[in-house]
Amino acid sequence: MLNLNQTRRNALGLIAGGVAALAAVPALAQDFPGGRGIELVAGYGPGGGHDTLLRTMAKILQEEGIIEEPLSVVNKEGGSSAVAMGYLNGHAGDGHYLMSVTSSHVTTPLTSNVGIDYTDFTPIARLGIDPELLLVSSKGPYQSIDDLKAAGKMLNVGGTATGSIEHIVAIEFGEQAGVEVNFIPFQGDGDVVSALLSGQVDFTIGNPGSARDFIEAGNFKALAVSTDERIELMPEVPTFKEQDLDITMSLFRGITAPGDIDDETRDWLIGKMKELSENAKWKEVYLDPNGVVPGFLPGDDFAEYLGQTQGIYKDALTKLGLLK
């Protein structure tokens, strides 16, 4: 004879067990980020371009209500972004970690045996293009491109890494200007600034955002910019092309996640970066003050761009004898 009470107890037990099992399963992708904070990883130290991008991005994402979960910035310096790349790679499959990426994330794997490259990560979005400036000390002996050409000696130039875009632009400048240059790599942007201020190097290659305060304070002078046309932030600075130098390389700024994240998480992150790029505060607080040219590319388009960029840098590094 069927025992209805026992049957009812069994059914309730199955339901309770099912609920418990569901509770033990991690939050589904559509629930991302599931109340957890997101860590933003910079491959260089505080005050540099990566750090500025991520801290400004975090502030706007939170204040504009684009992402409600906590956002924190961590600096993983070393190895021209290799340390940060290794750190992010250690969180494969977890979209709660994002990394600021620029050209160094493409060039470092080409020039160093780091064992990983951009294809090991999930491209989320390119957020803009950051031009390169040729910078000198405003108190130094070189106050124009012609002064550098007439130096009559080997010129020391500072940058953040061997094989970086700064290195490529510096060597390209030397070849086209007919001067010998000695590229000196430093650990981070702050060290490069100190080297130029102290006279350890004759010039540096840097970006408008990190150089602007020093230019306005009268410490640095920008002699050329690597865009086809002068930039709105510094209209007084001539392009390399205006000075008969065919140099138009600029670095990109973007965001990647670890490899192996699910499609729903990837799409959520891309959507948030798109919202950021379309927010007026982003242009007002980050793009315009830092001289960054707008240039949003989502996921797959950014991945294609990274592949094309790697090809361009590989050719440039080979031509300059930095790759064998």
Give the pLDDT of residue 15: 38
Looking at 126-235, list the stretches that DSSP marks H as alpha helix, in order from N- to C-terminal side.
145-149, 165-177, 189-198, 208-216
pLDDT at 163 over 50: yes
Domain limits, the chain: 37-130+252-319, 133-243
CB-based contact 53:100 (threshold 8 Å):
yes
The SS3 of residue 294 is strand
For the entire predicted model, the pTM comes to 0.77
Q: Per CATH, the architecture of 37-130+252-319 is what? A: 3-Layer(aba) Sandwich (3.40)
Kindly report, residue by residue over 228-243, the tens digit of the pLDDT.
999 989 999 999 999 9
**CATH topology agreement for domains 37-130+252-319 and 133-243:** yes
What is the C-alpha separation between 145 and 320, in angstroms, rounded? 21
Task: Kindly indicate the confidence band of residue 45, based on its pLDDT and cuts at 50, 70 and 90.
Answer: confident
Kindly report, residue by residue over 183-227, the tens digit of the pLDDT.
999 877 788 999 999 999 999 999 898 899 999 999 999 999 999
255: left (phi over 0), alpha (psi -120 to 50) or beta: beta
What is the C-alpha separation between 296 and 271, in angstroms, rounded? 12
Q: Per CATH, the architecture of 133-243 is what? A: 3-Layer(aba) Sandwich (3.40)
